[in-house]
Amino acid sequence: MNSLHRRDFLTRLTLATAALATPRYGFSNVSRADEFVEVSTTHGRLKGARSEGVTTFKGIPYAGRISGDRRFRRPALLEPWTGVRDALQFGAPAIQPPRRNEPAPAEDCLFLNVWTPASDNRKRPVMFYSHGGGFVGGSGASGGQDGSNLARNFDVVVVETNHRLGLFGFLYLDDIAGPDFAGSGNMGMLDIAAGLKWVHDNIAQFGGDPNNVMIWGESGGGAKTSCLYAMPEAAPYFNKASIESGPGVRMTPKEVAAETTAMLLKELNIAPKDWRKLLDVPAADLLAMQNKLPFVPPFQEKNRNQGMMRRNYGGFGPVVDGVVLPHHPFDPTAPAISQNKPLLVGWNEDEYTFFAWERKDTEFAKLDFESLPKKLEAQYGADAGRIVDTYRKANPNASAPDIFIAVSSITMMGLGSVDIAEKKVKQGGAPVYLYNFGYKSEKKIPGTDYPMGTPHAMDISFKFNNELPPRDGSAPKESFFGGNRPERFVASRHFAELWTTFARMGKPAAKDVPAWPAYNLNTRPTMRIDATCEVIDNRFSQELALWRSLGKL
């Protein structure tokens, strides 16, 4: 990961996320409807589309205008409407490069989507998902995260938001712009909190229980979930959480955010006292400037007295401003505000193969045990040899590329996940459950004979139960990452049932899956999710001992 420039990483991650959003699951912008369904909300009536046992409402506005003089501020009040508003097409995603099969990005992007089995006043669990794409890309309309199958097969209500991203959502102006712009460095997170409040006020009309809401998200969505878990403004509106392949242990200190703001103003030739000129810069120009600014490195290492600094998704992301985000989400401890809220946290076993795929990196597959230490030296220096020795001892049948993938994957997403689990246990409150997703795709990384395994983002279609045989009985199509093997359907069922049961009860469970013990610091149980699931105690014990000794955990 050290050789990957951060700007290139984020651009490619956004493009790869868009690729995953292609309509492989029959996800289109205009619904095919067996019938239309109307519901009342706090601001007016909505018309959604019902098809195959699920009603979908798309493009629901949950807050008001954020363009013009509302840029970098709290949204304007949402204006009520008269009559019935169509909720049949997705709303605009946040400012970013254009997204396939979605409306053009726009500043005014505060829309959400709802999938429900029925608007019948039943109190179903609500699964409120935050999309990935770091803090700079993605939307609540990405195809792999279509909520239809979760709603249909597990009787839950799924909600996904669009919210501000990049500098539109995370430009820190608090030091120079006055009280109207308080919290500016966290507007993207405050948008999500506003979406949660909308759910609290309205979801009963959609068949959901406002008092049983689970927040969850993958990659950047996992980091967003980490922040929500620590935010006073979000706290009243959710009851449990899941952080998936995106452990947000630490976020941007306000001093660093202020430096980024100063850099932006300098690049735009705007004096700090004239910061209001930012309100008149066209959105496209700000996006172009965002892409020119240097990014925070993928990993900011800790010193031993400071605590782990985990992944920071680019130069713009949530800011530890002492108010909206009072402290780092999981440093030095798990947030007291969510002490009594159960938590799931974990990662995919082969996270790094995603990044090899999107970078067209084939060189790692040619590594041998002579070249592997040299490959790791750029990031780990003199410790590279010790790392290789430890991993070879713990995994005697692993090849050199296997070890490179294992090292890269656990340092990207694993160490932060374990850190979060350990801190949650030490808090002595609600339980935390640690997992690894391990279903192996046989698809090869192009240009190599190396299989994808369990790459970053492959879990999305599995946990949304979008790995299913066709409903019409036709032959299954190849999954984007998941490959062709029919076992993927079983793994998807397990993943989705574990998560929906957790949403319902606060404890994950599924048919044909062993009982999943809460994490503890003695046996350290980890659920490995696959077509056959298993609980593994003290998993990666040798590897984690190594990373602790190196001050990485």
| Cβ-based neighbours of 404, under 8 Å, separated by 6 or more | 352, 364, 367, 372, 375, 376
Q: Could you tell me which of 497, 505, 501 has the C-alpha nearest to residue 529? A: 497
Segments of 235-325 assigned E as strands: 240-244, 252-253, 319-320
The angle, 0 to 180 degrees and rounded to 10, between the axes of the packed helices 352-359 and 6-20 is 100
Rounded Cα–Cα distance for residues 156 and 148 (Å): 10
Coil/strand/helix, residue 203: helix
DSSP 453: E
Rounded to an integer, what distance in angstroms lies between the CA atom of residue 220 and that of residue 375?
27
d(CA 184, CA 251): 15
| Half-sphere exposure for 320 (CA within 13 Å, toward CB) | 17
Q: How far apart are the two ends of the chain, measured CA to CA in Å?
A: 18
165 and 188 in contact (C-beta within 8 Å)? yes
Report, as residue numbers or ranges, the catalytic residues.
Answer: 219
Q: What is the CA 333 to chain-centroid distance, rounded?
A: 21
Contacts 24+ apart (CB under 8 A), 26-29: 26/146, 27/101, 27/141, 27/143, 27/146, 28/101, 29/58, 29/89, 29/90, 29/101, 29/102, 29/103, 29/141
3-state secondary structure of 344: strand
CA pair distance 254, 380, nearest whole angstrom: 28
C-alpha triplet 168, 67, 109: angle, nearest 5°:
70
